[in-house]
């Protein structure tokens, strides 16, 4: 319990650091967001109007007051008003996009982690064999192909040339959203290629991580003892070695969520998928600062939540932490 509480305290502190970053970055840069809007009116604004714009960006008062206003608005989930889709609040856009991004990243991480770890277990158990010396390098190399490229290649091959998969969107417009087989099937059909491209660039990492930790564990005394007791290979492999090797993997999984979400931003751009990345892209184009800052906060928060979940999973899997 103390362990979990300490971790929780760290996440709260880390979130405040992220908030502070987010607060100071625009204020340290030359020309704040409001200056751009004010400049676009080419001097046709009077003092009061300029003040109103600056106030809507929380740029009035002393730095400390601005900081408090900012903190307050974040905890009310008030990220300001989107300039791209004008009267819409940024928060609702953020959560709409985040839902689709979570679908993509969730599916991809699920498959990549399970398949990658299983391959790693297999490679470590038969280390030096054909599977290990052939697939380990290949899988890890795929890890170094950026999501942008894999997405582009898949898009070219399967969407443009073979036309097996759609050119964009999360679901067809003619199907009513709802919990029907038709709709869910349609969503999965549209998500196949984006999920595949995130999957392809991430499963190699789990393969290598699992393999390397497993190989180190296989020479430990407890494994030799387990085998000497005559336990079945299966039991030694999964209950003894893999259960220990999965612990650092789960920690790494939580840390990689940020990287994967970043990768999803690019993938969505290629597949024209209406997730956070697509909206971020339009926000970059029109310099919609409230959205861009909001996505950083939302992604940071989700990484922190993922880390918290991994700590809880570690406590469940590892009795040594339960003191």
Partner 1 sequence: MSELTHTPSIALTSRGDKATDTMRAPTQQELMRELGVKPKPGWTSRLPPSVAAFVTNGKGMAGVVILLALVLTAVFAPLLSSYDPGRRAGKPHVQPSYEHVLGTTRMGKDVFTQLVHGARVSLAVGFGAGIFAAMIGLAIGISSGYFGGKVDDILTFFVNVVLVLPGLPLIIVIATMVEQASPMVIGLVLALTGWGWAARTIRTQTLALRTREFVLSAELMGEKKWRIILVEIFPNMLSFVMGGLVLGTIAAILAEAALEFIGLGDPNAVTWGTMLFWAQRNMALQSGAWWEVFPPCLAIMLTGAALVLVNFAVDEITNPQLKASRNIGRIRKFLSRRGRSADVF
Contacting positions for partner 1 (CB under 8 A): 10-11, 13-14, 17-18, 21-22, 25-26, 29-30, 124, 126-129, 132-133, 137, 140-141, 143-149, 152-153, 155-156, 160, 212, 215-216, 218-219, 255, 257-259, 261-263, 265-266, 269-270, 277, 280-281, 284-285, 287, 289, 292-293, 295-296, 299-300, 303-304, 307
Going 133 to 135 to 263 to 181, the CA torsion angle's sign is negative
The least CB distance from residue 264 to partner 1, in Å, is 10
In 3D space, the residue among 66, 113, 112, 132 whose CA is nearest the CA of residue 250 turns out to be: 113
Identity of the residue, 239 or 287, whose beta carbon is nearer to partner 1 in the bound complex: 287
The least CB distance from residue 47 to partner 1, in Å, is 26
The Cα 245–Cα 257 span in angstroms is 19
The least CB distance from residue 128 to partner 1, in Å, is 2
Identity of the residue, 103 or 260, whose beta carbon is nearer to partner 1 in the bound complex: 260
Q: Whats the size of the chain, residue-wise?
A: 323
Identity of the residue, 63 or 184, whose beta carbon is nearer to partner 1 in the bound complex: 63
The least CB distance from residue 10 to partner 1, in Å, is 7
The least CB distance from residue 113 to partner 1, in Å, is 18
Q: Where are the alpha helices (DSSP H) in 126-145?
A: 130-143
Give residue for tokens 């030096």.
128
Identity of the residue, 145 or 183, whose beta carbon is nearer to partner 1 in the bound complex: 145
The least CB distance from residue 273 to partner 1, in Å, is 13
Identity of the residue, 3 or 180, whose beta carbon is nearer to partner 1 in the bound complex: 3
Exposure letters 22-59 (e unless 16+ CB within 10 A, then b): bbeebeeeeebbbeebbeeeeeeeeeeeeeebbeebbb
The least CB distance from residue 160 to partner 1, in Å, is 6
If DSSP codes are grouped into helix, strand and coil, which group holds residue 81? strand
DSSP string, 8-36: HHHHHHHHHHHHHHHHHHHHHSSS-HHHH
The least CB distance from residue 93 to partner 1, in Å, is 15
If DSSP codes are grouped into helix, strand and coil, which group holds residue 307? helix
Which residues have CB under 8 Å from 112's CB, separation 6+?
Answer: 198, 199, 202, 203, 206
Identity of the residue, 68 or 160, whose beta carbon is nearer to partner 1 in the bound complex: 160
Burial class (CB in 10 A: 0-12, 13-18, 19+), 14: middle
Exposure letters 183-192 (e unless 16+ CB within 10 A, then b): eeebbeebbb
The least CB distance from residue 84 to partner 1, in Å, is 13
Identity of the residue, 74 or 186, whose beta carbon is nearer to partner 1 in the bound complex: 74
If DSSP codes are grouped into helix, strand and coil, which group holds residue 313? helix
Identity of the residue, 81 or 292, whose beta carbon is nearer to partner 1 in the bound complex: 292
DSSP 3-state percent helix, strand, coil across the chain (nearest 5): 75, 0, 20
């Amino acid at each position: 319990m103390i362990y979990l509480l300490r971790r929780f305290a760290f996440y709260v502190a880390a979130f405040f650091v992220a908030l502070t970053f987010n607060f100071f970055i625009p204020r340290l840069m030359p020309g704040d967001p409001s200056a751009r809007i004010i400049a676009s009116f080419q001097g046709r604004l009077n003092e009061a109007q300029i003040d109103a714009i600056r106030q809507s960006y929380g740029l009035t008062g002393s730095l400390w007051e601005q900081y408090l206003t900012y903190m307050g608005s974040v905890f009310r989930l008030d990220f300001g008003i989107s300039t791209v889709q004008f009267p819409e609040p940024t928060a609702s856009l953020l959560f709409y996009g985040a839902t689709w991004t979570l679908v993509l990243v969730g599916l991809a991480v699920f498959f990549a982690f399970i398949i990658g770890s299983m391959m790693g277990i297999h490679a470590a158990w038969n280390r030096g064999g054909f599977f290990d010396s052939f697939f380990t390098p290949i899988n890890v190399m795929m890890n170094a192909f950026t999501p942008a490229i894999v997405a582009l290649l898949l898009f070219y091959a399967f969407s443009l040339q073979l036309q097996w998969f759609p050119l964009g969107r999360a679901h067809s417009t003619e199907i009513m959203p709802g919990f029907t087989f038709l709709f869910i099937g349609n969503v999965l059909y549209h998500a196949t290629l984006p999920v595949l491209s995130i999957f392809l660039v991430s499963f190699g990492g789990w393969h290598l991580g699992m393999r390397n930790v497993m190989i180190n564990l296989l020479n430990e005394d407890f494994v030799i003892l387990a085998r000497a007791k005559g336990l079945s290979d299966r039991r030694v492999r999964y209950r003894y070695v893999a259960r220990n090797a999965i612990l650092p993997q789960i920690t790494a999984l939580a840390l990689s969520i940020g990287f994967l979400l970043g990768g999803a931003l690019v993938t969505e751009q290629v597949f024209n998928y209406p997730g956070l990345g697509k909206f971020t892209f339009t926000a970059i184009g029109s310099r919609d600062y409230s959205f861009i800052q909001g996505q950083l906060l939302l992604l940071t928060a989700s990484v922190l939540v993922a880390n918290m979940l991994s700590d809880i999973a570690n406590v469940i899997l590892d009795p040594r932490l339960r003191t």
